[in-house]
Structure 1
Amino acid sequence: MNRAALAGMFNGQTTACEPAKAALLGGGDFVIWDGTVPGQQLARIYAARHRRARRRGAETLALSTTVDILTQYGTAPLRIGCIFTRDRTWAFMLFLAEDASIVLACTGVRQADQ
């Protein structure tokens, strides 16, 4: 997948989408991994990450909203991707349809020790 195609998939699904798109268009590294994971499994994983982030006081964007969206997909297989800002201060996790044709949700986490 190329940068322009991925950028065109952001439609304000969460408040993290615009900063993720800006990071992508600003030259940040990105990857869309092969394989899929059921939405409800991702929801459990990211709900736990949300709890840990709150306990540590880590800055996040749209993590709670992303968990809600992932929960709605139940057993549907989803693809995962990631965009880093050029300075690596933020990582944006993307959750896409199985065929990687649309971004369904996006969350951002400020990286520690940057």
Structure 2
Amino acid sequence: MERELLERLLVGSDEASVAALAALRCGGSYVVWDGTTSPEPLTLIYGRRLRHTRRRGIETVNLERAVELLGRHQQPVRLGQIRTADASWTFMLFLTQDGRTLITCTGVRRTQV
């Protein structure tokens, strides 16, 4: 996927999309994977991640809303990822099957090892 298309998809008002777009424009790396997956396992996985990050006090943006939106989505989902240039944040992108619409976006602050 071209960077310009991804930038257009991220133009939104939620905090995660705004932050992901800023990361992309500031030199962050990105990937949009080929293929799709069913939204049901994604809802379970990201529901677990939500509980885990809350227990550990890990900062996230839009994760609860992403789980909610994935739970309502009925079609296959294409995944993408953006990492900030300093690797402090990772944003997961959930796109429609054709990659033309952003379903939701969530971000998690990376813990320092």
User: Which TM-score band applies after superposition, normalised by the shorter structure?
Assistant: over 0.9
Aligned-pair CA distance for 1:39: 1.2
* 1:46-61 paired onto structure 2 within 5 Å: 46-61=46-61
Alignment TM-score, normalising by the size of structure 2: 0.95
* 1:68-87 paired onto structure 2 within 5 Å: 68-74=68-74, 76-87=75-86
Identity %: 42
Separation in 1 of the partners of 2:55 and 2:45?
A: 16
Q: Which ranges of structure 2 fall in alignment gaps of 5 or more residues?
A: none
1:33-91 Cα offsets, whole Å, 9 max, x none, are: 111111122111100000001111100000000000101113x1000000000000000
Query: Quick check: 2:36–2:77 contact (8 Å CA) kept in 1?
Result: yes
Aligned residues: 113
Aligned-pair CA distance for 1:13: 6.3
Q: Which ranges of structure 1 fall in alignment gaps of 5 or more residues?
A: none
Separation in 2 of the partners of 1:71 and 1:33?
A: 21
1:66 aligns with 2:81: no
1:103 aligns with 2:105: no
List structure 1 segments (4+ residues) > 3 angstroms apart after TM superposition: none
CA RMSD across the alignment: 1.2
Change (3 A) 1:107 1:27: same
Structure 2 counterpart SS, 1:16: helix
Structure 1 counterpart SS, 2:65: helix
Question: Which residue number in structure 1 is paired with residue 2 of structure 2?
Answer: 2
Aligned-pair CA distance for 1:12: 2.2
